[in-house]
Amino acid sequence: MNIAVLGAGALGSLFGGYLARTGHRVTLIGRNNAHMQAVRERGLKITGVRGAHQVTENLQAVWEPSAVRDVDVLILSVKASDTEQALESVSHLVGRVQTVMSLQNTLVKDSLLIATFGSEATLGASTIEGAAMPAPGHVHNTITVPTTLYLGEHGGETTARLTALAEAFNATGLGTRAVPCIKQVQWEKLAQICLTNAFSVPALAGLPRASMQDAQALREGAESYAELARELLGVYGGLGYAPEDFFAPLSRLKELVGLEHEAAVELLLARAVARLRDVKPGPPIRSSLFGDLERGRRTEVMQIFTPFLEEAGRQGRDVGALRAAYRNIRVMEALAMRDGGLNQRGGA
């Protein structure tokens, strides 16, 4: 297949690199920066959970979207706030691309794709794969799970392109599953990352050596996590869904359903202690939102939290803990952007 990745940051480059490595012709579309220059000159270095690879074949890097003409598949991997501008930059591909899909975290991404490319071209997708960029031309695959990518037609049917794309991604080592319920997967993934950020960002800001498990192993931390999970699962259940732990073992929401608060706290404490026994040396893995705060960049906090806050309002549910976490992160975002990142301004 001829594939273009619009938004060649860490995640977009990772997916593009794996696809190129298995023989697909891949064009990375990104900013004119050191990373893209390095890919042009030396190819893409991939390290991490699937080993080390240097991808030089079937891979090109461009920073002018107009340079991409005819492609079979367009993968969107830009920051949520950049979506409309990014889609405008590839409007010349409307009617010339067979399939367009998004790796973003938002729930509105597919409606924006449909508005630009039409419903027949748009395929639903959701992934938990994690990546970072240690240096230009180098992406590090930080996180994966057995099934890390879900694809689905919005009508729920199984089509030839759905089957072909699932096979193509599976061939790269990215465990992929075609499902009839892609909207549920997207809601549950959003619940998972909303919970992770709502708990970890306020708890761990300014603590570079502390992990989410460290915070959750404290009773107050487990109590906070349990309350946030109760609110999010209430909204998710109000949509008519029950947790499926699509991204297990990272996703472990099913075991919290129906538990009283104290039982949930005890479960979370035991779970955190068990994970700390198996922790590997090195800095703790943080969410991409946390990374944006540390660098003083605009985050996706609005796109991650707002769907649950608005849906809670429609359902008449009290989500005070979630709303407080959202407000705290918005304050951090504003001040981190002003100061150039978390912990960038020293005291007297």
Pairing verdict, β 138-143 and 44-48: parallel
Tens digits of residue pLDDT in 278-320:
877 778 878 889 889 999 999 999 999 999 999 999 999 999 9
Instruction: State the residue for tokens 């890919």.
Output: 39
Distances (CA, A) of 101 to 21, 144, 162, 258, 324: 20, 20, 11, 35, 33
Domains and their CATH numbers in the chain? 2-180 (3.40.50.720), 185-339 (1.10.1040.10)
Percent of the chain surpassing pLDDT 70: 99
The 3-state DSSP composition of the chain as helix, strand, coil percent (nearest 5) reads 50, 15, 35
- Catalytic residue positions, numbered: 189
| Integer Cα distance of 70 and 3 in angstroms | 9
Query: What pLDDT shows up at residue 344?
Result: 57
Query: What pLDDT shows up at residue 32?
Result: 82
Tens digits of residue pLDDT in 236-274:
999 999 999 999 999 999 999 999 999 999 999 999 999
| Integer Cα distance of 179 and 159 in angstroms | 11
Q: What is the pTM of this model?
A: 0.92
Query: What pLDDT shows up at residue 179?
Result: 97
Q: Say yes or no to pLDDT of 324 above 60.
A: yes
Q: Say yes or no to pLDDT of 16 above 80.
A: yes
| Extended strands (E) in 11-52 | 25-29, 44-48
Q: Say yes or no to pLDDT of 347 above 50.
A: no
Highest mean predicted confidence (pLDDT) among 119-123, 278-282, 344-348: 119-123
